[in-house]
Amino acid sequence: MSPDRSLRSFGQVFDNCATAYDEVRRSYPDVLVDAAIERGGLVPGSRVLEVGCGTGKLTELLAAHGLVVDAVDPGPNMVEVARKRVGDTDLVRFHIGRFEELPLDDGAFDAVFSATAFHWIEPDIGWRKVARHLKPGALLALLTHIGIRDTGRDEAEEAFHAVLEQHAPEAAAGLHLSRELATVVAGV
């Protein structure tokens, strides 16, 4: 198994602590979700696919806009928390399984959203599969949280990285220290 593939398996760990994960995981700013919806020309009733719905923080925001959401996640515990979050609604249908393996309708979606989850998808399958599920001209919205380097946290972040290198070097290899705000803004 390649190092990249074995690192992807860490994503399944979250299902074992779904409720605790939900308590500490930030949601996504309304303004970011609104901008993606506007950019995609989405309206109530637009059909969207959410890859890696987790505990439903983005799912809830998409449904609040009246979008019809097919939400995919491999973790049954994560999906159970998501079901409780969105409540009883016909706007959301959950699919438990790995995105790479689930049968979904081709050319049926006005948008595909993935919030801090698409990096867990096998790239040699995921990109082609997303393209296959989208209608022509549809939106792909990849949302993520990023860390900004803060001199007050530098020492703690470096100490955490050192411990991770010692105890889980395969995880540390793919984890980079936060960038400075100026670097991020310049990249945008």
Locate tokens 């022509």: which residue?
136
What are the chain's domains?
Answer: 3-143 (3.40.50.150), 154-187 (no CATH)
pLDDT in tens, 16-75: 899 998 998 889 889 889 999 999 999 999 999 999 999 999 999 999 999 999 999 999
Q: Is the torsion defined by CA of 149, 152, 156, 158 positive or negative?
A: positive
- DSSP, collapsed to helix, strand or coil, labels residue 34 as helix
The neighbouring-strand residues paired with 140 are: 112
Give the residue from 121, 115, 119 showing the smallest Cα distance to 25: 115
Reference 57, options 89, 91, 30; nearest CA is: 30
pLDDT tens, 73-121?
Answer: 999 999 999 999 999 999 999 999 999 999 999 999 999 999 999 989 9
